[in-house]
Each structure stands twice: as structure tokens, then as C-alpha cells.
């Protein structure tokens, strides 16, 4: 199911102490080794004495976007995942110089499928479409001093590309206003204090907002107050901005209409933005085009407008509009014994704590169904024994956890030599050669 969600079947028998100990132990198959899969497995094993859980992953390495998510300088919060990204749906979005946030994040985090992205960083101005934490992560990576990045597990090729980067200005544009930004105060504060970088916020964007947030929830109020304070401060007031060679800023009520090509049509040179007005207030405010437009010159465009999950298999129900598996408390509709968790269950929202609680809820549904006799407990399941036989018959050699430990040790050793936590191997074939496959 990919790193953003997990899908599994529960079966077999036995449940804690309320069923006969002679009954076969329930075997649970979890597809996807990201946070959703691991948290679900953890809850089942903790609350069921007999449960046996097998976790399956398409890559040779586990942990999904705990390994490949968000930013290498934020190892404690990596937890964003889904198989695909939402498209902009505008002319020019396939021009060279335009990338999805998912692919760009995958590139600097060593996700094998994105290792050859090779983004062109030869321009001075980058535009990130989106006002979420992932957008701030990307801006921070583009503008961070190399000495800070060298201490992280960012890939060598990404570090080399960033060392040659000409990007010195990053704009983050969103369709709505300051009261609707989706990033959090911790990430904003870190961006404001980024050494050698100056924030550029227009005071006019915040007129009257101090009164508007008086009764807002405390996190929203503090976030808005920090933006206002930053907009009103004089250049150089923050020590980190002294002699700043780089800058970043927030642009509000701007909706992308078209990515504009260079004269020869070979790459992006800018984005035509529709100016918007807000209808309604707070989280439910909608951005309505005013009819006015402006062009923003930039050679690098990164779309960070959200992620979406992909269907697992034709046999598994899937809502293509919402990008989720239809479910009730994790129980897949019309498929008894099949469950889901993570973004494929609820959509692409939230961070690791959200996924953890969501996974616990789904695991609880499995436990309740075991206890209530909703699952077939009459036949013992073979689990990976049967799956292993099928794989061998197809000539497939799966990577075991002990194999992963060899890959892990090699990455840590390479990282130690370079003064980093690890140096990720980004080529699956190299991983397989390392473990003798």
C-alpha cells in the first residue's frame, strides 16, 4: 500500500484470553512498512497474546517515509507518505523545471524511484506552491547553509547538487491568506531563524489580523502573531539574518494559472498567478479568483499542494475521488477481514502522532472483530510460510529483516566515514548485491 498507509487481512483464531488456547493463533498480514503498518502491528502484538504479524514492503528497506519523508534535518518528524502527488492541472506543469514536492523530497532523501530526478537548480528564484510544512521543508533545504546539511543523512548526490545551486530566493505561494496557512509554528520559527537568510513578509498582508485572531485557538493565534512580528521587523533585526545573501517570503491569495515557458519553449521561466479574494473565514474560507493576474519570474517550480494514494489492487475497493479505501473505523467496506490505516484510510492529512492514533484505532477494530467472532477462526493460517513458497516458485528472493540489518550497517559505516548519521544506498540493485542476492 506504500509508505502512506497500510492494508492488511486479519484471520485465524484466538484473541487474548477469551478464546481457547487450543485455537490457532491469528495471522495478520500488513502490507506497507511505514508508520501506519508498524503502529498497527505494535498495537496488535501488545494487546493480543497469540497474534502473529507479517509485514510486507515493496522496497528492500523498511520504515517507509520514516526513512524517506519530509527533511533530513528533521529526523524526529518524518511521517508523510502516499504513493502519488496531486497534480496542478494547469498548462505548462510538465515543463522542465517543474517538480512535485513528493519527487523532490524523495530525491534529497534517497528514495530509489527519485534518485535520477536531477533537478535544475541553476536559477536564482524558486517558487513553491503550497503553505504547508512540506513546503517549508523544501524551502529550508534549498536555502540552508551546506555545513548544516552535511551533518544530516541527506544523500551525497543531493548535497553536491545543492552545493552548486544558484537558488538564493524562494517564494511560497498559497491560494488563501495568513489565517489559512497549514504549516506549524515550530517550522516557521526555524525558517525565520535560518542563518544567512532573510524572511520577506509584506506588512500589508497582515492588516487587521491581530484583532481577527484574538478569539482563535492558541496555536493559530501564536502562529499569526509570529508572522506579523516578522513582517514588521526591520532587516537585520534577527542575528541569523546579518549580511543575509538569501531570502524567502510568503505570498498570499495567489492561485497558479499557467507555468510560463521560456522563449524557446524548453523550460519554465515563471508562473502566471490569479489573484484571489476570500469568501468565508477561518479554515472554511474559499479562494475566489478576482479576474486580476500577475506573473512571477522563477526558473524552479515545486508543487506542494498535497499527496494522494493509489489503488492497491482491482479486488480492493477504492474511492478515486477522495483517494482512499472506503472504510468504517478501518474496516474495508464490502471486504470482511480486510482493514486499512494511514492516509489511504483517511486522506493525506496529519503527521506521525495522527497516524499513530489512527493505526491504533484500526488495530482495535481487528481485535474487536476477533473477539466478536467476525473473523474466520476455524482454519490455521500459514502466513509467510505459504507466501514464501509462492515467491520461490516465481523465482523471487525476498529481503529479510536480517538482510536489512546488513544494509543498515553498511549505510551507517559509510556515513560514519563522512561524518554523517548514515549514507543511504539509493540503488536497489546495489542493496541486493550487498546482501548476496
Joined together, the cell numbers standing for residue 275 give 489573484
Tens-digit pLDDT profile for residues 270-317: 999 999 999 988 888 999 999 999 999 999 999 987 666 777 788 889
Report how far residue 275's alpha carbon sits from residue 285's, in angstroms, rounded to the nearest whole number: 15
Q: What are phi and psi of 100, to 5 degrees?
A: -80, 150
Distance CA 102, CA 67 (A): 14
pLDDT exceeds cutoff 50 at 197 = yes
Instruction: Report d(CA 240, CA 177) in Å as an integer.
Output: 27
Which grid cell is 289?
Answer: 479568483
pLDDT average, residue stretch 107-134: 93
Q: Count Cα neighbours of 267 within 13 Å in the Cβ-side half-sphere.
A: 14
How many CB atoms are closer than 10 A to CB 338?
21
pLDDT recorded at residue 34: 85
Rounded to an integer, the average pLDDT of 198-206 is 95
70-105 pLDDT, tens digit each: 566 554 444 744 444 566 778 899 999 999 998 999
CATH topology classification for 87-305: FAD/NAD(P)-binding domain (3.50.50)
pLDDT value at residue 72: 66
Q: What is the pLDDT of residues 40-70, one digit of tens each?
A: 999 999 999 889 999 999 889 888 767 766 5
pLDDT of residue 78: 41
Per domain, the residue ranges of the chain are: 5-65+314-398, 87-305
Phi/psi for 136 (5° steps) reads -65, -40
**Which whole number is the average pLDDT over 164-174?**
97
Interatomic CA distance for residues 205 and 208, integer angstroms? 9
Residue bearing the bigger pLDDT, 379 or 304: 304
Q: Which CATH class is domain 5-65+314-398?
A: alpha beta
Q: How large a percentage of the chain has pLDDT more than 90?
A: 59
Please give the average per-residue pLDDT across 406-431, as a whole number.
92
Amino acid at each position: 500500500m506504500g509508505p502512506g498507509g497500510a492494508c492488511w487481512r486479519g484471520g485465524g483464531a484466538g484473541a487474548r484470553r477469551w478464546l481457547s488456547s487450543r485455537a490457532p493463533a491469528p495471522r495478520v498480514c500488513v502490507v506497507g512498512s511505514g508508520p501506519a503498518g508498524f503502529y498497527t502491528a505494535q498495537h496488535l502484538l501488545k494487546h493480543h497474546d497469540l497474534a502473529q504479524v507479517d509485514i510486507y514492503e515493496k522496497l528492500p528497506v523498511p520504515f517507509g517515509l520514516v526513512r524517506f519523508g519530509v527533511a533530513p534535518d528533521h529526523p524526529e518528524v518524518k511521517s508523510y507518505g502516499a504513493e502519488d502527488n496531486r497534480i496542478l492541472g494547469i498548462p505548462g506543469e510538465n515543463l522542465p523545471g517543474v517538480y512535485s514536492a513528493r519527487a523532490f523530497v524523495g530525491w534529497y532523501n534517497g528514495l530509489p524511484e527519485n534518485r535520477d530526478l536531477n533537478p535544475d537548480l541553476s536559477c536564482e528564484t524558486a517558487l513553491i506552491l503550497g503553505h504547508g510544512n512540506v513546503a517549508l521543508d523544501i524551502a529550508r533545504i534549498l536555502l540552508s547553509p551546506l555545513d548544516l546539511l552535511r551533518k544530516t543523512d541527506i544523500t551525497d548526490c543531493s548535497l553536491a547538487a545543492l552545493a552548486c545551486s544558484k537558488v538564493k530566493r524562494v517564494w511560497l505561494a498559497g491560494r488563501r491568506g495568513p489565517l489559512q496557512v497549514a504549516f506549524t509554528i515550530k517550522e516557521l520559527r526555524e525558517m525565520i531563524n535560518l542563518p544567512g537568510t532573510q524572511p520577506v513578509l509584506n506588512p500589508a498582508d497582515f492588516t487587521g489580523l491581530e484583532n481577527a485572531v484574538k478569539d482563535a485557538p492558541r496555536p493559530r493565534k501564536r502562529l499569526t502573531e509570529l508572522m506579523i512580528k516578522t513582517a514588521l521587523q526591520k532587516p537585520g533585526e534577527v542575528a541569523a539574518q546579518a549580511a543575509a545573501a538569501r531570502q524567502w517570503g510568503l505570498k498570499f491569495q495567489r492561485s497558479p494559472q499557467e507555468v510560463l515557458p521560456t522563449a524557446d519553449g524548453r523550460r519554465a521561466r515563471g508562473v502566471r498567478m490569479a489573484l484571489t479574494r476570500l469568501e468565508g473565514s477561518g479554515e472554511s474560507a474559499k479562494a475566489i479568483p478576482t479576474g486580476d493576474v500577475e506573473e512571477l519570474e522563477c526558473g524552479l517550480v515545486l508543487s506542494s499542494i498535497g499527496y494522494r494514494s493509489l489503488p492497491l489492487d482491482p479486488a480492493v475497493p477504492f474511492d478515486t475521488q477522495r483517494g482512499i479505501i472506503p472504510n468504517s473505523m478501518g474496516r474495508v467496506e464490502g471486504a470482511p477481514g480486510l482493514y486499512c490505516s494511514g492516509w489511504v484510510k483517511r486522506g493525506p492529512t496529519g503527521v506521525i502522532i495522527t497516524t499513530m492514533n489512527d493505526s491504533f484505532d484500526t488495530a482495535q477494530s481487528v481485535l474487536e472483530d476477533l473477539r466478536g467472532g467476525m473473523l474466520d477462526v476455524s482454519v490455521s493460517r500459514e502466513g509467510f510460510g505459504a507466501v514464501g513458497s509462492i515467491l520461490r516458485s516465481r523465482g523471487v528472493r525476498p529481503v529479510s529483516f536480517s538482510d536489512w540489518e546488513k544494509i543498515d550497517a553498511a549505510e551507517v559505516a559509510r556515513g560514519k566515514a563522512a561524518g554523517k548519521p548514515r549514507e543511504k544506498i539509493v540503488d536497489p540493485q546495489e542493496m541486493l548485491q550487498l546482501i548476496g542476492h
